[in-house]
């Protein structure tokens, strides 16, 4: 907040971290900027510094975040309906309730920062260059889908936008993410800020051995890697108190610094991830980040989501911590928009999503020859020994080798 330029302060409702309900205040100044108080949204582990407790945001940025989050919400609800109508087959894990996490990360990141996530990946694909028709089209298995209809729900991928998937095997994305952090460090120039990598995974995945192995290497080699645990409190039907002996996930990295963020508050996520990016990108090594979040739907389409938790818990979260209601309140309290203007915007987004789904339905299934594309590398270079390899793979230099055809030269 800039002292003296403050025009007014408006108290808004709080958002919970660790059971506390901190107050969130919006102070509007100049024409279209506001500063929001996010005090109480963070907890730190092994860190001397912490994210700021205020976040400045322009009207345009807040609107953009709302638009993305509401599109995510409507897209996931549409996927639910289309799945039930049997237009989508196979696995399908929805992200509604968790929208502030992907949106806040996206707001804090540069386009060249690498991102990899679990099977709950539709909304990250949307944030990373996708359209609703490309995401839903992928679920329909159509050629204009995000992965040309060949991946489906869990296998979104967009190299150009530094989005490396979508992974169906729990935790598998984390060591791959560590590899992308290695690449970011390897490609950076000495003394310059590095692009960071984030691997998102769930509370259920967090106790896997492969994650600790990746964390060990990242810490040893000071890689710009963010281990982002989306703690939605359940691994399938098992609650965190039944599946994890440690519930402070942000402390799980031991010597690796950690940050817990209110993952229902998009402004806190943005500020927390800005802080993590700054820390990791400056060569300080990796960070564990725990997002406190919640999924409204069951684990996947076969799970009604109400046998291991009761409806009251879901209703309570919706009514007190919903990430979209939070942004709407911020927009109104900062006087960026009126409630009626927000309703109009929601109506427009709902229509746009419907149009995009119709467009996805018009797209055909991939032709047979598409099956044989994107399997092997095509940009091969001839190397010694007459064999061709992709340029990024370093192979033995046979001419300079001491051993040729089994004989020492
Ligand atoms: C290695 C492996 N084990 C088990 C499964 C089955 N499985 C899929 S999701 C899941 C739960 C993961 O929960 P969590 O990590 O909390 O992520 P969330 O689904 O909550 O986003 C399990 C056990 C799998 N896909 N891969
Ligand atoms: Mg979980």
pLDDT by residue (tens digit) across 125-173?
Answer: 999 999 999 999 999 999 999 999 999 999 999 999 999 999 999 999 9
- Domain-located, residue 260: yes
- Domain-located, residue 8: no
167, 210, 235: residue to mutate for ligand 1 pocket, most atoms within 8 A of CB: 235
- Indicate whether 185 pLDDT > 90: yes
* pLDDT-derived band at 399, boundaries 50, 70, 90: low
- Indicate whether 207 pLDDT > 60: yes
CA distance 181 to 187: 10
**Please, where are the H alpha helices in 336-406?**
339-362
Q: 189 and 154, same structural domain?
A: yes
Interval 291-320: pLDDT, tens: 999 999 999 999 999 999 999 999 999 999
- Indicate whether 30 pLDDT > 60: no
For ligand 1, the distance from its centroid to the CA atom of residue 201, given in whole angstroms, is 9
For ligand 1, the distance from its centroid to the CA atom of residue 167, given in whole angstroms, is 10
- Indicate whether 19 pLDDT > 50: no
More confident residue, 17 or 104: 104
- Indicate whether 258 pLDDT > 90: yes
* pLDDT-derived band at 14, boundaries 50, 70, 90: very low
* pLDDT-derived band at 392, boundaries 50, 70, 90: confident
Q: 283 and 400, same structural domain?
A: no
Nearest atom within ligand 1 for CA of residue 93: 19
Interval 59-93: pLDDT, tens: 999 999 999 999 999 999 999 999 999 999 999 99
- Domain-located, residue 267: yes
Residue 393: the pLDDT is: 73
Nearest atom within ligand 1 for CA of residue 208: 1
Q: Whose CA is nearest to atom 21 of ligand 1?
A: 202
- Contact present, 188 and 180 (Cβ < 8 Å): no
For ligand 2, the distance from its centroid to the CA atom of residue 38, given in whole angstroms, is 25
Nearest atom within ligand 1 for CA of residue 231: 16
- Indicate whether 1 pLDDT > 80: no
* pLDDT-derived band at 21, boundaries 50, 70, 90: very low
Which protein residues touch ligand 1 with a CB less than 6 Å away? 118, 120, 168-170, 201-205, 230, 232, 234-236, 299
Residue 353: the pLDDT is: 98
Residue 386: the pLDDT is: 73
Of 12, 87, 65, 17, the C-alpha closest to 250 is 17
Q: 129 and 46, same structural domain?
A: yes
End-to-end CA distance of the chain: give it in Å, rounded: 72
* pLDDT-derived band at 376, boundaries 50, 70, 90: confident
- Indicate whether 388 pLDDT > 70: yes
Residue range 360-365: mean pLDDT, rounded: 97
For ligand 2, the distance from its centroid to the CA atom of residue 291, given in whole angstroms, is 11
Nearest atom within ligand 1 for CA of residue 295: 20
- Indicate whether 29 pLDDT > 50: no
Mean pLDDT of the chain: 90
Which ligand is closest in space to the CA of residue 300? 1
Q: What is the token pair recorded at 57?
A: 């945001």
**Burial of residue 32, with CB atoms counted within 10 A of its CB: 0-12 exposed, 13-18 middle, 19 or more buried:** middle
Q: 220 and 345, same structural domain?
A: yes
Q: 209 and 160, same structural domain?
A: yes
Q: 343 and 383, same structural domain?
A: no
CB contact burial 303-321 (16+ within 10 A = b; e otherwise): eebeeebeeeebeebeeeb
Q: Whose CA is nearest to atom 18 of ligand 1?
A: 202
Q: Whose CA is nearest to atom 3 of ligand 1?
A: 170
Residue range 4-13: mean pLDDT, rounded: 33
Of 93, 100, 112, the C-alpha closest to 68 is 100
Q: What is the token pair recorded at 76?
A: 């996931």
Nearest atom within ligand 1 for CA of residue 203: 16
Nearest atom within ligand 1 for CA of residue 299: 19
For 389, the enclosing helix (H) or strand (E) is strand 388-389
Q: 405 and 267, same structural domain?
A: no
Q: 332 and 389, same structural domain?
A: no
- Indicate whether 5 pLDDT > 60: no
Q: 381 and 279, same structural domain?
A: no
- Domain-located, residue 26: no
- Indicate whether 18 pLDDT > 70: no
For ligand 2, the distance from its centroid to the CA atom of residue 92, given in whole angstroms, is 15
- Domain-located, residue 169: yes
Q: Whose CA is nearest to atom 8 of ligand 1?
A: 170
Q: 406 and 260, same structural domain?
A: no
Going 69 to 70 to 73 to 78, the CA torsion angle's sign is negative
Of 301, 294, 329, 310, the C-alpha closest to 97 is 294
DSSP3 helix / strand / coil % (the chain, rounded to 5): 40, 15, 45
Residue range 378-385: mean pLDDT, rounded: 76
Q: 80 and 211, same structural domain?
A: yes
For ligand 2, the distance from its centroid to the CA atom of residue 5, given in whole angstroms, is 43
Which ligand is closest in space to the CA of residue 95? 1
Count of structural domains, the chain: 2
Nearest atom within ligand 1 for CA of residue 120: 21
- Domain-located, residue 85: yes
For ligand 1, the distance from its centroid to the CA atom of residue 204, given in whole angstroms, is 6
Residue range 218-228: mean pLDDT, rounded: 98
Q: 88 and 145, same structural domain?
A: yes
The DSSP-derived string for 130-175 is: --HHHHHHHHHT-TTSTTTTSS-TT---BGGGTB----SSTTTHHH
For ligand 1, the distance from its centroid to the CA atom of residue 46, given in whole angstroms, is 29
Residue 26: the pLDDT is: 57
Residue 2: the pLDDT is: 30
Of 93, 95, 163, the C-alpha closest to 129 is 163
Of 11, 19, 96, 13, the C-alpha closest to 262 is 19
* pLDDT-derived band at 347, boundaries 50, 70, 90: very high
- Domain-located, residue 50: yes
More confident residue, 373 or 199: 199
CA distance 181 to 226: 9
- Domain-located, residue 33: no
Question: What domain range is 314 assigned to?
Answer: 42-371
Residue 238: the pLDDT is: 98
200, 204, 297, 303: residue to mutate for ligand 1 pocket, most atoms within 8 A of CB: 204
- Contact present, 100 and 65 (Cβ < 8 Å): no
- Indicate whether 198 pLDDT > 70: yes
Check which CATH number belongs to the domain holding 290 and give it: 3.40.50.970
- Indicate whether 24 pLDDT > 60: no
CA distance 332 to 343: 12
């Amino acid at each position: 907040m800039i002292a003296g330029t403050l025009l007014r302060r408006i108290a808004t409702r709080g958002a919970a971290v660790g059971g506390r309900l901190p107050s969130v205040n919006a102070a509007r100044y100049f024409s279209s900027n506001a500063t929001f108080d996010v005090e109480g949204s963070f907890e730190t582990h092994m860190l001397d510094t912490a994210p700021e407790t205020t976040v400045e945001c322009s009207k345009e940025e807040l609107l953009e975040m709302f638009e993305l989050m509401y599109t995510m919400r409507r897209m996931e609800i549409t996927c639910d309906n289309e799945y039930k109508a049997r237009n989508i087959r196979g696995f399908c894990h929805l992200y509604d309730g968790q929208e502030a996490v992907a949106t806040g990360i996206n707001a804090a990141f540069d386009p060249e920062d690498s991102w990899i996530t679990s099977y709950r990946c539709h909304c990250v694909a949307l944030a990373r260059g996708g359209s609703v028709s490309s995401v839903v089209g992928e679920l329909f298995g159509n050629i204009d889908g995000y992965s040309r209809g060949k991946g489906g729900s869990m296998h979104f991928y967009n190299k150009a936008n530094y989005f490396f998937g979508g992974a169906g095997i729990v935790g598998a994305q984390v060591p791959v993410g560590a590899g992308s952090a290695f690449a970011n460090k390897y490609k950076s120039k000495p003394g310059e800020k590095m692009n960071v990598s984030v691997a998102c995974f769930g509370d259920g995945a967090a106790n896997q051995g492969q994650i600790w192995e990746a964390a060990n290497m990242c810490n040893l080699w000071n890689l710009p890697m963010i281990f982002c645990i989306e703690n939605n409190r359940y691994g399938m039907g098992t609650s965190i108190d039944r599946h994890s002996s440690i519930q402070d996930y942000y402390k799980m990295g031991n010597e690796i610094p950690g940050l817990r963020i209110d993952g229902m508050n998009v402004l806190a996520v943005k500020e927390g991830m800005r802080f993590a990016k700054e820390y990791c990108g400056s060569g300080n090594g990796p960070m564990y980040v725990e997002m406190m979040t919640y999924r409204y739907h069951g684990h996947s389409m076969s799970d009604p989501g109400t046998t291991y938790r009761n409806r009251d818990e879901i209703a309570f979260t919706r009514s007190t911590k919903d990430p979209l209601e939070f942004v709407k309140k911020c927009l109104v309290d900062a006087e960026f928009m009126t409630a009626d203007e927000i309703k109009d915007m929601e109506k427009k987004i709902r229509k746009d999503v419907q149009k995009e789904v119709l467009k996805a339905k018009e797209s055909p299934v991939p032709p047979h020859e598409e099956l044989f594309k994107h399997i092997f590398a095509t940009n091969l270079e001839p190397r010694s020994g007459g064999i061709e390899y992709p340029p990024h793979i370093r192979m033995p230099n046979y001419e300079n080798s001491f051993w040729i055809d089994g004989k020492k030269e």
